[in-house]
Structure 1
Amino acid sequence: MNASIPAIAPKGTNGAPSGVIDTYPSTDPDCWWSASQCTTPKASGVKPDIAAMPEPRTLGYGFDDGPNCSHNAFYDYLNSKQQKATMFYIGSSVMIWPLQAQRAVADGHEICVHTWSHRSMTAFTNEQAFGELWYTMQAIKLVTGYTPTCWRPPLGDVDDRIRYIAQQLGLDTVLWKYDVFDWEANDPSVTPPVTPQDVQANYDKVIAAATSGTFNTTGAIMLAHELNNYTMQTAIDNYPKLAAAFDHLVPVGVGYNKTQPYVETNYSQPTFQACEFLALNLFSSIPVTFGPLHRPPLIVLLRRFPSYRRPKLTIPIFADVAARGGSVAGPPPSSSGAGAKPSGTSGSNTKSSGSGSGAQTTGSGAGVTLRVSGLTLVLAFIGALALVL
C-alpha cells in the first residue's frame, strides 16, 4: 500500500500541526479540508468524502467523541424517541468504556471510527495514520463484535494522503457542512471564547435553514458531540426542534442506503426508503438484525421490554457494572461518584429513568438488582437460549 499512497508530506509531527497552513498553496493541491473544506479529492483513485445527505430535508444525525461514562441518559433519551444516530468513537475511549460502546450497538446506532487519539491526521506519518485507524477498528471489533466501514477525521483534518490510507482500510470518510461548535463552549483555550448562547445560535441557524427550504434538494450533515454532559444536554434540548424542521433524522449510512454498516454481514440496518415509507424519524418498527454470534447480551435483552409488575432479580455476574460506573442497562448508581449525568431536564448526579427501558441497575459489589416483569423474564429466557443456540 505504501507505494500507492499519494506523495504528500505530513503537515506536522506526531499529530501536532506545524503551521504549514500559513504557507500552503491557495490552489489546494492536496484537497486539504482544513485549508479549503475540499471534499472532492484531486488524487486519482481516491473516493469523495461524504459531507451531505443525498435525500432532501434529511439530517445525517450523529455525534463525535464517544463513548463516555455518562452518556446513558442521553442514549435513554434517544431510545425514548426511537431515534438512531451515527456515533464516531475514539478507539482509546472504547477500551476505557466498553459497556457503553456495546450499548450503542445494541441500541441500533451506527458506529464509525474517530481515530485512536483524536489528533490531527495530516500531521502523522503514513504508518502512524494507519495505526490510528487500524487500532480503533480493532478495538471496536473486540468490544462490540463489529468492524466499522466509516470514519471521521478529528477537526475534519484530512487530505488525499489520509483519505487513501483510510480507503485502503475499507473506511468511507464522513465530514460535515454545518458545525454547532458545542465542543468549543466554555473552553478557556478558545479565542474568541464560545458561549452556550453561541452554540444555541448555531443550532438555530441549522433549524432556520431547514425551515426556509435550504435542504429541499439535498440534506445536511451537522457536527455535534457526545463529548460531555453539556453537549449531550444541548443535543437533547434541540432534538424536538430538529425533528420538526427536518422530515427525517437518520444515521449517515441509512441516508446512503448502506444496509450493511460493518464488515460482518450478520448485522443490517434498513434502507432510507424503508424509513421514509413508515414516516418515522428512524426505524423503530424495522429492527436492526443481529447475527447469531453477536446478539445483544442478556442485560440488553432485559431492558428491551417495558415492565409491568416488578419483582426483583439479582444477577451477581453483573456486579462489576456498578463498580465500573456504567451499564448498558441504565445509568450507574448515584452513589458511585461517577459524576453528573445529563437528563431531559437538568441536573447533576441524577438518574435518568429513560422511556421504555424496563430495567434499572441499583446497588454494587454483591450484585446488580434488575427490576423486570414476568413477561420480561420469559422473553429474556428465550433470548438467553438464543445466545447459546
Structure 2
Amino acid sequence: MRWSSLFASQAAVSSALIATTLFTLSASAQDRTTEQGEAQITDPNQECTPYSYAPVTAALAANQFPPIWTIATILPNDTNAQAKYQSIQSQIPNIQPNGSPASTSTGDFSGFSYPSSDPDCWWTFDQCTTPKLAGLPPDLAGVPEPNTLGYGFDDGPNCSHNAFYDFLSQNNQKATMFYIGSNVMDWPFEAQRALADGHEICVHTWSHKYTTTLTNDEVFAEFYYSTLSMEAIKLVVGVTPTCWRPPYGDVDDRVRAIAHALGLRTIIWQYDSNDWREGFNNVTAADVDQNYEYLIARAQNGTYATAGTIMLTHELNNFTMSEAMKFYTQLKAAFKYLVPMGVATNQTQPYVETNYSLPSFDQYISGTTTVTGAVPAATAGSSSSTGSGSSSGKTHSTGAASRALFDGLGILAAGAAFIGFSVKLLA
C-alpha cells in the first residue's frame, strides 16, 4: 500500500504529521528529489518519510498500474498488456491454480489435493527445481562456480536501507536485489540506488503473493507491471530485468512457463536463513544465527568445493539487514567468493537494455566488480540523475562511522511505515 493512498482521507492529519516529523528530524533540509540526496540521509525515520517522485505520481494518477499491494490484474485500458498476454497464451500449459484464494496470502494448501508424483514440478510441494514441462530451463538453485555464494536479498527496496547499502559499498560488495514492484513505486530513489551502486536487480513480483494460486492473467500481470515495457522497475530505474524469484519459492511449471515467455529466469535457493521468520512462530534471533552458522560450517568443510550455493536472505527489515552485516565477514572467510547471481552464471547482459552490463565471473573475482555503462533513461536528468556512467567508481559520502549500526529505536519507528504489509512479506 502506498502511504499517499493510506492517508488520502486524512490529508490534514497526514500533512501535519509529516511536517512535524521532518522538523524534528533535522535542522537542515534533506534533498528528497534525487537518488544521491536520498542516499545521504542518515536517520532511518526520515528515510521512511514518504516523498513524491513525479514519474510515479503521474503514472498512478493516469491509472497505468494496478493498485499497489493488491494482486495485479491486466488493466482494461492497457492494450499493450492485453496484446502481450494474448501473444503468449499458447505457451501456457493447462495447469490449474493451486489452493483456494486465501492461499494467496497465507500459503495454506492443507485442503488442496495434489498428486504425490508432483506432475507440475511444484516447488512448495517438494522443492522441485527441474521442470517437467518440455522447453523450460531448470531453476537456478545453486551456482556453478566452486566455493561461491550467490549473494542476494529479497523484498526490497526497503525504505531504511541506506546503512545496509553503505556497508555493501564500503566492502565493494555487489549483490542481487529481488525487488517487489509495489515497493519500487513506494520508494523509487531507493530502487535507483541499487543500480547506481552496481547491484543486479531482479523481479519479485508486483504484490508478493503465492504465484501458483493466481490465475494465468494474474501471474502475467504480477510480472508485467513489475518490469516490462514502461512498468515499475523500467519506469523508475530505467532497466528491464531478465530474472525473478517467486515469493515464498512458490512456483510450478505453469508459472515458470509464463515467466519464461516474458524472458525471466527463475532463481530459487538451497538454504533458507529464516531471517524473515524471526519473531514469528517461535523463531528467535538465535535460530537465524544458527542457520547462518550452518551454511558457514558447510562451506568450511568443503561441501561447495565443486559447485557453489544460494541462501535466502532479505532486505525486509532492520533485523534481516543487520544479520547480513553481522555475518558478512564470516561468509567472506568461509566462501572464496560472494557474487551476484548474474555474475556467478556469467549473465553479463542482465537487462533487456544494452546500455548496462555486469562483469563476468572472472572479471569480478579479479577486482572488476562493476562495468561502466550509459545512464539509464529513467534515472537521467536533474530529478534523479545517477551521474556519468552507471555505477563504476560511484560512491556515496554517508558518514559511515555513525551508520555502521542501525539505531534500534529509530528503526522501530521507521518500521511503522510497513505496518499493514510487512507481515505479508515472509519470503
- Read off the aligned partner of 1:5 and give its amino acid letter: I
Matched, 1:347 2:395: no
Could you tell me which of 204, 213, 233 is aligned with 1:114? Answer: 204
Report sequence identity in percent: 53
Matched, 1:258 2:351: no
More helix by share: 2
Deviations 1:80-133 (CA, angstroms, capped at 9, x unpaired): 000000000000000000000000010010000001111100000000000001
- Read off the aligned partner of 1:216 and give its amino acid letter: A
Q: Is the 8 A contact 2:152 2:176 kept in 1?
A: yes
Could you tell me which of 152, 159, 162 is aligned with 2:255? Answer: 162
Deviation at 1:2?
1.8
Change (3 A) 1:291 1:300: closer
Deviation at 1:297?
6.4
Could you tell me which of 95, 107, 113 is aligned with 1:8? Answer: 95
Deviation at 1:300?
4.5
- Structure 1: any 5+ residue segments left out of the alignment? 307-327, 332-341, 352-389
**Cα separation, 2, equivalents of 1:25 and 1:258:** 36
- Read off the aligned partner of 2:117 and give its amino acid letter: T
**Cα separation, 1, equivalents of 2:256 and 2:376:** 34
Deviations 1:273-330 (CA, angstroms, capped at 9, x unpaired): 1123x1x4xx34x444235746766764499677xxxxxxxxxxxxxxxxxxxxx875
Q: Is the 8 A contact 1:90 1:115 kept in 2?
A: yes
- After superposing the two structures, state which structure 1 stretch, 3-12 or 210-219, moved more: 3-12
- Read off the aligned partner of 1:251 and give its amino acid letter: P
Deviation at 1:69?
1.0
- Read off the aligned partner of 2:283 and give its amino acid letter: V
**Cα separation, 2, equivalents of 1:174 and 1:294:** 26
Structure number with the bigger relative contact order (C-alpha 8 A, sep ≥ 6) is: 2
Q: Secondary structure at the match of 1:53?
A: coil
Q: Trace 1:77-226 onto structure 2 (pairs within 5 A).
A: 77-137=167-227, 138-187=231-280, 190=281, 193-226=282-315
Change (3 A) 1:200 1:106: same
Could you tell me which of 274, 289, 292 is aligned with 2:373? Answer: 289
Q: Is the 8 A contact 1:11 1:20 kept in 2?
A: no
Q: Secondary structure at the match of 1:221?
A: strand
The root-mean-square deviation of aligned C-alpha atoms, in Å, is 2.4
- Read off the aligned partner of 1:290 and give its amino acid letter: A
Aligned residue number for residue 336 of structure 1: none
Q: Trace 1:207-356 onto structure 2 (pairs within 5 A).
A: 207-276=296-365, 278=366, 280=367, 283-284=368-369, 286-291=370-375, 293=377, 300-301=386-387, 343-348=403-408
Change (3 A) 1:294 1:32: same
**Cα separation, 1, equivalents of 2:379 and 2:210:** 35
Could you tell me which of 110, 119, 139 is aligned with 1:49? Answer: 139
Q: Secondary structure at the match of 2:195?
A: helix
**Cα separation, 1, equivalents of 2:91 and 2:357:** 33
**Cα separation, 1, equivalents of 2:108 and 2:96:** 12
Q: Is the 8 A contact 1:146 1:264 kept in 2?
A: yes
**Cα separation, 1, equivalents of 2:90 and 2:248:** 27
Q: Is the 8 A contact 1:116 1:132 kept in 2?
A: yes
More strand by share: 1
- Structure 2: any 5+ residue segments left out of the alignment? 1-87, 412-427
Q: Is the 8 A contact 1:66 1:88 kept in 2?
A: yes
Change (3 A) 1:265 1:349: farther
Q: Is the 8 A contact 2:148 2:335 kept in 1?
A: yes
Change (3 A) 1:197 1:211: same
- Read off the aligned partner of 1:140 and give its amino acid letter: I
Q: Secondary structure at the match of 1:92?
A: helix
Deviation at 1:18?
5.8
Q: Is the 8 A contact 2:163 2:405 kept in 1?
A: no
**Cα separation, 1, equivalents of 2:212 and 2:196:** 33
Q: Is the 8 A contact 2:237 2:376 kept in 1?
A: no
Q: Give the TM-score of the pair, scaled to structure 1.
A: 0.75
- Read off the aligned partner of 2:262 and give its amino acid letter: L
